[in-house]
A = this chain, B = another copy of it.
């Protein structure tokens, strides 16, 4: 697009790829994000100094902060995202739910208001139909929450949930919701311009999550039908229109086994998983975001959005699945990227790069496209097998395990699927049958490596000595024998 890019960085990110690849780069402050990336005043100072016309907030830190959008407006910088008002309307869960209800977007049936007592809870639960979920009014993070599957369980559940809510939030009040069993997380990508046109770009299924963190995302969803897509897409567009939404956003839904969908929340920014949508639509979302922010109309209508093939993304993390997913920062000694048809690697690391402990230990995303789901998954598996990083631990083997799992391959996934499946996946990684040839190779490499010298191994980065000790040793042996 011929746009000059200006990056900001904290001291921890001086060597990060976004700094190296930008046309211009300015320091925002020290490593802690509240002193750098979260400082709106600093960002504005840099943007003014560099003469920026527009600001893209990315998808972390201040990306959903209306104050950043406001600061941009008052500095005459185009914010590449929705208006601060739309962000506020949709950013708060309560406000977004109210708006969704008014827009006729389906919600999980329930009371919303606190229930007076146990008796009232029983009446409402029978009306909703079991199973139901007791939730703390002041709640969050699963505290004060209990699933109840029959009248007989209600008494104990009520007492437990109320006392947990009292302890956690100082507020014992509870409300009831229909319990959605094994829900899928399916989200709709929306995109609106400043001229009143809003379209949706199909869905992404993000049900493979670990502790509410997405691990694998795909588009289309394995359970999607054209009717369901239209219904969900129209609901998302309706909500966005009511909120006066402009630019890219995501409306998240829970979907149950009967393909009922329920509003969850709105992300008022680009998502980490946007490449899967790019690969099935052929659109460049960031480019469209910039065009829309520049006041251009969307260059296509809903009818012109065509989905083709299937895309799958997995998130690569510097973490050790075998050790409770403990982060594994450190210097990347070597890195090998996969290539070939339908493979895209969006990462920010390189040989010699040090993964720091400051921020999220995500290394990047590996994305594949195929004519159908099976081909996309097969390509992603091949890509993961070709991908190699040493010096730090990664979750690549676990991702391969998921991509080989029969339930995943069958599309039988839901938001708690990975958490439940994890023990089996992890033990599967450990109990591979013995491979004598691989073991021989490991022994040989261990010996050659130890001959290459411990001294050199102590250096960080991709170190190579002028002469391999293994060659020197060999030569000495030769001399010894020839004597």
Query: Interface on A for B, CB 8 Å cutoff?
Result: 1-2, 21, 275, 278, 282-284, 286, 308-309, 336-337, 339-347, 350-352, 369, 371, 375, 378, 386, 455, 458-466
Q: How far is the CA of A351 from the CA of B347 in the complex (A)?
A: 18
> Secondary structure of the A side of the interface?
loop
What residue in chain B is nearest A466 (Cβ atoms)?
B459
Question: Closest Cβ of chain B: how far from A373's Cβ, in Å?
Answer: 14
Docked Cα-Cα span, A336 to B282, in Å, equals 25
Asked if residues B461 and A284 are in contact (CB atoms below 8 Å), the reply is: no
Nearest Cβ on chain B to A453's Cβ, whole angstroms: 12
> Given the complex, which residues of B lie within 8 Å of A386, measured CB to CB?
21
Complex Cα–Cα for A341 and B285 (A):
9
Rank and list the top 5 A-B pairs by shortest CB-CB distance, nearest first: A461-B464, A462-B462, A459-B466, A463-B464, A284-B341
Residues in chain B near residue A2, CB distance under 8 A: 378
Interface pair A351/B462, CB less than 8 Å apart: yes
A237 to chain B, nearest CB (A): 22
A1 to B282, CA, bound (A): 25
Across-interface contacts of A371 in B (CB, < 8 A): 282-284
B residues near A458, Cβ cutoff 8 Å: 466
Contact A339 B343 (CB under 8 A): no
Q: Tell me how far the C-beta of A21 lies from the nearest C-beta in chain B, rounded to whole angstroms.
A: 6
Q: A278-B341, A458-B466, A459-B464 are in contact. List 4 more A-B contacts (CB 8 A).
A: A2-B378, A282-B308, A282-B371, A460-B464
Q: How far is the CA of A348 from the CA of B339 in the complex (A)?
A: 10
Min C-beta distance of A409 to chain B, whole Å: 13
Taking CB atoms, residues of chain B closer than 8 Å to A459 are 464-466
CB distance from A464 to the nearest CB of B (A): 4
Query: In the bound complex, what is the Cα–Cα distance between A123 and B165 (angstroms)?
Result: 103
Nearest B residue (CB) for A455: B466
CA distance A375 to B375 in the complex (A): 27
A275 and B464 alpha carbons, distance in the complex (Å): 36
24 A-B contacts (beta carbon < 8 Å)? A1-B378, A2-B378, A21-B386, A275-B341, A282-B308, A282-B369, A284-B341, A284-B375, A286-B341, A308-B308, A337-B337, A339-B344, A339-B345, A339-B346, A455-B466, A459-B464, A459-B465, A460-B464, A461-B462, A461-B464, A462-B462, A462-B464, A463-B463, A463-B464
